[in-house]
Amino acid sequence: MRGKTHRSWWARKEGLIGLLGALLLWTAPCVAQEEQVVSAGQVDFQTYCTACHGQDGKGAGPMASQLQTKPADLTQVSKKNDGIFPVWQTYRIIDGTEPLARMHGSEEMPLWGDVFKAQEGSATALARVRGRIFQLIYYLQSIQAK
C-alpha cells in the first residue's frame, strides 16, 4: 500500500515539474518579445517625445519652455490614475482621437497617429501604425514611477 502512495505522489510531482517546465518554455519567448516591443517603443519615444517630455519622460525636454503648457510627467500616469495605467486613453491621446485639454492641458502635442500614418505611406498600413502606438504605450508603462 505504501508503495502505491509513494508512486502516486511521485507521479503527481513529476507531472507538476513537467507543467512548470512547459510554462517556463512557453513564457521565455514572450518575455524576450516584450523586451523587443518596449525597446522599439523607447526608440520612437526618443525620436518623437523627448523634445518636450525629456529623456526621462518627466516633462523637462529642451522644447518644454517654449510651450504654453508644461508637458506631462509621463512617469506619473499610473500614479495619477490610482495605480492603473490607462492603456486605451493613452492610445487615443497618442493617435489624436482623445481630446487633450483634460489630460495634456493643451492641443500643442502633435497627433502622432497622423504622423505615423504619413510615415507608413498608406491607409492600409494601419496595423503598423497601431503597432507603433502600442510600442510607445508599453514603453511608457515601463517607465512608471513605483
For the chain, what is the HEC assignment?
Answer: CHHHHHHHHHHHHHHHHHHHHHHHHHHHHHHHHHHHHHHHHHHHHHHHCHHHHCCCCCCCCCCHHHCCCCCCCHHHCCHHHCCCCCHHHHHHHHHCCCCHHHHCCCCCCCCHHHHHHHHHCCHHHHHHHHHHHHHHHHHHHHCCCC
The mean pLDDT of the chain is 78
Confidence at 105, pLDDT banded by 50, 70, 90: very low
User: What integer pLDDT is reported at residue 29 of this predicted model?
Assistant: 58
User: What integer pLDDT is reported at residue 131 of this predicted model?
Assistant: 87
How much of the chain exceeds pLDDT 70, in percent?
A: 62
How is the chain split into domains, by residue range?
Answer: 35-142
What CATH number is given for 35-142 in this structure?
A: 1.10.760
Instruction: Tell me the whole-structure pTM to 2 decimals.
Output: 0.67
User: What integer pLDDT is reported at residue 95 of this predicted model?
Assistant: 81
